[in-house]
Structure 1
C-alpha cells in the first residue's frame, strides 16, 4: 500500500486535507464498511462527509480512526 514518493508528487496528488481524506476513505472501506463495535455492514453518512455511522448501533467512525493519524 505504501511506496516511496517525492514531496512534489505527494503535493500534486494531495492538494489539500480533503484530498487526503477522500483517499483514506476509499482505501479504508474499499472492501465495504464493517462496524468495529457490532460487526454490522450497514452504514449511513456520519457526522461529517468523512465519517460513516453504523445503521445498527449508531457507532460513528472517521476515516482517520484506528490509523496512525489518531493517537
Structure 2
C-alpha cells in the first residue's frame, strides 16, 4: 500500500487566492478599528484640552514656582 503523492504544482497560487483577500480585509478592518478606537478619541481629547488652555496663565504659574532660571517672579 503506497501513499498518494502530494499535489505541489499550483499550491501557492491556490492558497494565495484564498488567504490574500482574507488578510487584506482583516488588515483594513484593523486599521479602521484603530482609527476610531484610538486616533479619534485622542484628537478629541487634545481639542478639548486646548479649547480651555491658557498659555500665559500656565507660564505665570511656572514662573512663580521658580521653574525658570532666567525669569524672575514678578514683584506685584
Q: Give the TM bin, normalised by the shorter chain.
A: under 0.3
Ranked by relative contact order (alpha carbons within 8 Å, sequence separation 6 or more), the top structure is 1
What is the TM-score of this pair, normalised by structure 1?
0.25
**Structure holding more helix per residue:** 2
Q: Greater CA radius of gyration, 1 or 2?
A: 2
**Structure holding more strand per residue:** 1
What is the TM-score of this pair, normalised by structure 2?
0.24
